[in-house]
Amino acid sequence: MGFQEVFGAPPEASGQAPGRVNLLGEHTDYQEGYVLPTPLPLFTRVEAGRAAGRVEAYSEELKEVRARPLSAEPMGDFLDYLLGVVWALRAAGHPVEGARFYVRSEVPMGSGLSSSAALEVAALKALRALYRLPLSDQDLALLAHKAEVEYVGVRCGVMDQMVAALGRPGQALFLDTQSLAHELLPLPPGVRVVALDLGLRRRLGEAGYNERRAEAEEAARRLRVRALRDVADLCLVETLPPPLDRRARHIVSENLRVLRGVEALRRGDARALGELMVQSHHSLARDYEVSLPGLDQLVEEALRAGAYGAKLTGAGFGGAVVALVPEGAWAGFETRLKEAFPGLKVLG
């Protein structure tokens, strides 16, 4: 199948965007903090053509066509993301009359590897070309974020859309989510960054995510700061009642870990970066309480198999682990992990 077979005409434009893992800076982006994601070499590719008054799409993975008018409400399927980006462009005043899309994705869905941001940004790149819109990659990231929050209805931070739009393979994106200042930093030489996906689909992830967001907001309110990003002194969090003290301790210490991770990247120090990833995982598990036993076991086994560092990536409550593995340990690492976890997918 291809665009022509599904829609009876050739595509007029195309776009692509990658999935991601996050090295450091988990659950900081909705408190104006720092993040350090890097793209995976797995892409969502979209071909597009014009369609008046509606959005239509065929997904090669789901093998189905979906179509709805521009005024349609979200329905909980993949078309929501495409309707969402068209809605966001129109809301910003861009003359987009509708579109049809052919979608192929290598990014697994529901694994915490940011398949939705990859789809949104790939579709926006295709729409930018199709309608010749004067938009930068950062504009596309912000439109994708608006689509996800205001149309699809997921209250995420801006990390995933920014790395899908601005990330480059082999580089980490150091992003300040308060100012949106960002910098691409090369990953250390001689290491691989991989996602370990056990197929732990995120259950109750959205409810848990929103609960953590609310707790973080409450902690910021009690500490009288606009966002926990503005708390520099870790001692201050000890004045909060539990569990707000633990939640704030994670966010404040995680921001410091990103800054230290950036210094490690500037020195090309993969071991130091790996240690910070392990600390991040422990903080996510103990203080933020978003890990699962399966993710903790995967992290421990990855470290025993020679990884410099490993941690859950994304929101948690399921999803995947990111590991930083020295090239020299690679062959043994993969064999050992696949033996310990039959069915494990090693991506990247």
Shortest CB 216 distance to ligand GLA, Å: 10
The residues annotated with a catalytic role in the active site are 160
Instruction: Select the residue interacting with ligand GLA from 315, 320, 322, 344 (CB under 6 A).
Output: 315
Choose the stretch contacting ligand GLA; rule: CB under 6 A; options: 19-27, 99-107, 184-192, 221-229.
19-27
Does position 254 bind ligand GLA by CB under 6 A? no
| Among the listed residues 236, 216, 238, the one whose alpha carbon sits nearest the alpha carbon of residue 228 | 216
Helix (H) or strand (E) holding 3: helix 3-7
- The one-character DSSP state at 148 is I
Look at residues 216, 236, 238 and name the one whose alpha carbon lies nearest to residue 227: 216
Nearest-Å Rg of the Cα atoms of the chain is 20
Asked if 157 interacts with ligand GLA (CB under 6 A), we say yes
Other beta carbons less than 10 A from residue 309's beta carbon: 28
Is residue 27 near ligand GLA by the rule CB under 6 A? yes
> Which residue, 117 or 344, is less far from ligand GLA as judged by CB?
117
d(CA 326, CA 348): 14
Taking CB under 6 A as the criterion, the residue among 143, 156, 298, 305 binding ligand GLA is 156
β-sheet bridge partners, residue 32 = none
The site for ligand GLA, by CB under 6 A, has a size of 11
Q: Which of 7, 30, 131, 288 binds ligand GLA (CB under 6 A)?
A: 30
Q: How far is 54 from 86, CA to CA, in rounded Å?
A: 10
Q: Which tokens sit at 201?
A: 């689909």
CB of 334 to ligand GLA, least distance (A): 26
The answer to the question of residue 281 lying near ligand GLA (CB under 6 A) is no
Q: Contacting ligand GLA (CB under 6 A), which of 23, 29, 166, 318?
A: 29
Q: What is the phi/psi pair of residue 267, to 5°?
A: -85, -10
**C-beta of 117 vs 126, nearer to ligand GLA:** 117
Q: Is 314 in the site for ligand GLA (CB under 6 A)?
A: yes
Binders of ligand GLA in range 221-240 (CB under 6 A)? none
What type of residue is 205?
G
First to last CA, the chain: 26
160 binds ligand GLA (CB under 6 A): yes
Closest CA to 25 of 276, 210, 236: 276
Residues in the chain: 348
Q: Which is nearer to ligand GLA, 15 or 314 (CB)?
A: 314
Among 46, 159, 252, 264, binds ligand GLA (CB under 6 A): 159
94 versus 213: smaller Cβ distance to ligand GLA:
213
Both structure tokens of 331: 């062959």
Q: Which residues contact ligand GLA (rule: CB under 6 A)? A: 22, 26-27, 29-30, 156-157, 159-160, 314-315
